[in-house]
Amino acid sequence: MPSPIEKLQKFFKLEAERGYDNRAVVGGLDKIVPAWDTEAQTLNYPETLIETVRTRLLNYPNLESEERSQALADLLTLLKEFQSEHPQLAANQAQPAAPRKPIPPARPKPARPVEAGPADDLLPPPPAAPNLRPARPVPPKSEPVQGLDAPLTVISGIGTRYAQSLRSLGLETLNDLLYFFPRRYDDYSQFKPINRLEYGDELTVLGTIQSIIVRPIRGGQSQLTEAVITDGTGFLRVTWFNSPYIANKLKSGDQIVLSGKVDMYLGRKVMNNPDWESLEQEHLHTNRIVPVYPLTAQVTQKNLRRILHQTVTFWASRLTDHLPNSVREETNLPDLSTAIRNAHFPDSMDSLTAARRRLAFDEIFLLQLGVQRQKQSWQSLTAQVFEPPAGWLDEQIQRLPYELTNAQRKALADLESDLRSGRPMNRLLQGDVGSGKTVVAGLAAAVVIQAGAQVAFMAPTSILAEQHYRSLSRLLAAEDGSNLLRPAEIALLVGDTSEAEKAAIRSGLADGSIRLVIGTHALIEDPITFQRLQMAVIDEQHRFGVAQRAALRGKGENPHLLVMTATPIPRSLALTLYGDLDLAVMDEMPVGRMPIETHVLHPLERERAYHLLRTQIEQGRQAFIIYPLVEKGEREDDSKAAVEEHQRLQREVFPHLKLGLLHGRMRPDEKEQVMARFRDGEYQILVSTSVVEVGVDVPNATVMLIEGANRFGLAQLHQFRGRVGRGPDQSYCLLIPESENAVENERLVAMEQSSDGFVLAERDLEQRGPGDFLGSRQSGFMELKMASLTDVRLIEIAREQAQKLFAMDPELQLPEHANLSRVFDRFWAATKGELS
Ligand code: ADP
Ligand code: MG
């Protein structure tokens, strides 16, 4: 067995091969944290190592693909260092860990029936008898929750070894199993024969493998698995990139099910990197809609489906519904038993939809109850009061080279009143890109600093941290003592800060001689202590996990907390997801900003775009050209499109200009250098992938050209657009989609019509659902398995219901809420009190 270190290395390698799609581990890399943690603790790895791995991995799903590669590279370096420093320790293996909280089954497990066959529990028992047999004796009615907390080994056919494999899917108890939902459903009535496939179809195909081979490509650096599938009506060529193991699992003559997108290659229909599964006859014939579950090594679809069928069949009807009847009646949702049954084995698509609605409702409802409670408990804490002398803040505002907008004044007034309140500020400052959040946060920080306390300011990337460092230094510091601080009292702490400098900053923060520190997650990963941290500011908060926000806050005693975001979350969603935070919205741009002229161009009109770039550059301006990340599989790495296009543009299109290149595979210091050179005008054009997204400020840039624009959400395109139009000159945003696909391109036209991030976010929400937005909140503190699939209306209904219930029984003490209270505790158990 590999050591915990080797396991990580293996996962990371696999993840890199997959192009950082966060699918090397089922459910996402963050899912390995609990098991890994336990093993690492057992082996007494250093706490700092464990902590770093934990925070980095928990945040991993939140990162853009490019940052992911960086995050893993960083961790690999760390692991390497650890291996060379403690070779013995790093090679040790943990003993198979016992379940962390072993809860004995309510009753002893029934002896395995003799006909269950060989003792090896990886082998499925014979199919005939066990399917509908109760998993275990009926538990006494009085302890339903205890029954569902029983370990999986109570199910016949699951022994300790198999239970171990299921653990890596996050399954430890019967309850986990009931809430382990299919990642998709195959509706076998919806198949299309191969001869009727059309380009662009996304569907399932069923056929027999005629041939399957693996061949080396790119001079042997990569491998392509190629299969030809037939269903009697035609042939389909299927390829998988760098997955030679598939050829070991499949052979010609096997029947398989493929799900994916139909593409064209040399005039013929192909599928690239489809999901695949061996065909399982018995389920096709018994169920029309078949659940397909996430898998892991040693757990087959067939076996898992059998176990779930058995468990759901037995348990679903025995579940007590935790939703009060009144709520269920008012919302017209199915009861829990029906919902769980139909979420796994639906008898129609309608019953599936209703089931998912109900389960999504539960998640939002419980989330909202928790958020309400959290808010109440925040409000019961005391914090230090900060109230500057009368007129002091106005003086600071007078020093600014510009007038604050009304929105900025209003937001600042909110922050002032929070600081005065004696309760910890817990506020989300939401403002479109360029609305001027930094100065507002900076002025609030000034209030805290002038009273002698310290402030920490955390940003997701070093480029951004450095930018804040410079603008806050400009705002708050002067060499000659004519401002609040001296330059030496402000520090910048990022990953690349030298060890010597870090040590100096650490001691300056500990003894209070540094009053304001700006940094990346280095702020929480390094063992930093503050003399008196009274305010924490987190910029682009959605890029941080809950654990990281809590870690920063934990460096002080009930410090005031300000989180900022440029993601314009629609209000109804913000209230649901961030209901524990007070909201300040800046919906106004500084005066004098000219609207950015935006055009969607056809791919054939690219030359026009280049012409505009040239004209602008002749006038001394600069331009961005953005390329999307290339999807996994076909390309070797994410940055390839940008790298190739950079070369082509430099050679063929703009031979007389200087073009910089920025992508996620570059080291942070390299990125920083390129950004700095662009900012300083050494490059006229910056070719970049989406790493440039976050708030970097280059006022002289006036053109934002986005290739493959259809691949981005409107909210993200709006963020890109916000990179230009920051100076006095007319700016342009040109969107070039990959194809003439009418629907997609109509979506992009919204960018021409609106410059309001909130409007665009609403559109995104209508078109793509709330998944993107929910994702930003969910990591680390709970899993919204169903809610991201649902609609905003349901979210609003769930919020209303939760508020009503909270108003009536905030502690869930009424007897009719006893069940709800138990489910609530279970739902929130992992992260009590650590919401934001
Ligand atoms: P964001 O809200 O996107 O973080 P920034 O804080 O980076 O925006 O501000 C964007 C730019 O606008 C900065 O260059 C900043 O100096 C400038 N700025 C901020 N407030 C005003 C204002 N009231 N008037 C003019 N310029 C402003
Ligand atoms: Mg910003």
Residue 435 CA to ligand 1 center (angstroms) comes to 6
Q: Within a domain: residue 408? A: no
Nearest-CA residue for atom 24 of ligand 1: 590
In DSSP terms, which residues pair with 623 in a beta bridge?
685, 703
Q: Within a domain: residue 35? A: yes
Q: What is the pLDDT of residue 39?
A: 77
In DSSP terms, which residues pair with 703 in a beta bridge?
623, 732
Angstrom distance (rounded) from CA 745 to CA 498: 47
When pLDDT is cut at 50, 70 and 90, the band that residue 523 belongs to is very high
Whether 507 contacts 394, CB under 8 Å: no
Alpha helices (H) in 86-191, listed in sequence order: 87-91, 144-148, 160-167, 174-178
Picking from 287, 319, 346, the residue at the C-terminal end of a domain is: 287
Q: What is the pLDDT of residue 190?
A: 62
Same domain assignment for residues 480 and 547: yes
Same domain assignment for residues 608 and 713: yes
Q: Within a domain: residue 701? A: yes
Angstrom distance (rounded) from CA 598 to CA 754: 9
User: How does the average pLDDT of the chain come out, rounded?
Assistant: 81
Q: Within a domain: residue 509? A: yes
* Side-chain half-sphere CA neighbours of 693 within 13 A: 25
Whether 537 contacts 445, CB under 8 Å: yes
Both tokens of 209, joined, read 């493998």
Q: Ligand 1 pocket: which residues have CB below 6 Å?
A: 402-405, 408, 431, 433-439, 566, 590, 695, 697, 726
Number of folded domains that form the chain: 4
Q: Within a domain: residue 156? A: no
When pLDDT is cut at 50, 70 and 90, the band that residue 619 belongs to is very high
Is residue 38 predicted with pLDDT exceeding 80? no
With the most atoms of ligand 1 within 8 angstroms of its CB, the residue from 406, 439, 463 to mutate is 439
With the most atoms of ligand 1 within 8 angstroms of its CB, the residue from 463, 539, 562, 697 to mutate is 697
Ligand that comes closest to the CA of residue 442: 1
Same domain assignment for residues 627 and 738: yes
Same domain assignment for residues 749 and 605: yes
Q: Within a domain: residue 407? A: no
Angstrom distance (rounded) from CA 743 to CA 723: 26
Mean pLDDT value across residues 808-819:
90
Q: What is the pLDDT of residue 287?
A: 41
Ligand 1 nearest-atom number relative to CA 437: 2
Both tokens of 621, joined, read 């301006």
Is residue 16 predicted with pLDDT exceeding 50? yes
Ligand that comes closest to the CA of residue 541: 2
Nearest-CA residue for atom 17 of ligand 1: 436
Angstrom distance (rounded) from CA 539 to CA 436: 12
Q: Within a domain: residue 720? A: yes
Nearest-CA residue for atom 9 of ligand 1: 436
Same domain assignment for residues 714 and 638: yes
Whether 595 contacts 31, CB under 8 Å: no
**What CATH number does residue 448 fall under?**
3.40.50.300
When pLDDT is cut at 50, 70 and 90, the band that residue 726 belongs to is confident
**What CATH number does residue 236 fall under?**
2.40.50.140
Picking from 287, 311, 335, the residue at the C-terminal end of a domain is: 287
Same domain assignment for residues 506 and 653: no
User: CB under 8 Å to 657, separation ≥6 — which residues?
Assistant: 617, 650, 684, 685
* pLDDT, tens digit, 9 for 90 and up, residues 508-521: 999 999 999 999 98
Same domain assignment for residues 531 and 464: yes
Instruction: Show the domain range for 663.
Output: 597-754
Whether 345 contacts 132, CB under 8 Å: no
In DSSP terms, which residues pair with 448 in a beta bridge?
none
Same domain assignment for residues 533 and 614: no
Is residue 722 predicted with pLDDT exceeding 60? yes
Ligand 1 nearest-atom number relative to CA 431: 2
Question: Which of 118-122, 174-178, 260-264, 510-514 comes out lowest in average pLDDT?
Answer: 118-122
Is residue 117 predicted with pLDDT exceeding 80? no
Q: Within a domain: residue 403? A: no
Mean pLDDT value across residues 551-558:
91
With the most atoms of ligand 1 within 8 angstroms of its CB, the residue from 433, 435, 542 to mutate is 435
Give the chain's largest Cα–Cα span.
88
Same domain assignment for residues 89 and 29: yes
Residue 400 CA to ligand 1 center (angstroms) comes to 11
Same domain assignment for residues 450 and 513: yes
Angstrom distance (rounded) from CA 435 to CA 454: 26
Picking from 106, 121, 144, the residue at the C-terminal end of a domain is: 106
Same domain assignment for residues 606 and 513: no
Q: What is the pLDDT of residue 135?
A: 35
Same domain assignment for residues 72 and 215: no
Angstrom distance (rounded) from CA 445 to CA 795: 35
Residue 412 CA to ligand 1 center (angstroms) comes to 14
Q: What is the pLDDT of residue 770?
A: 63
Ligand that comes closest to the CA of residue 431: 1
Q: What is the pLDDT of residue 631?
A: 44
pTM, two decimal places: 0.63
Ligand 1 nearest-atom number relative to CA 467: 7
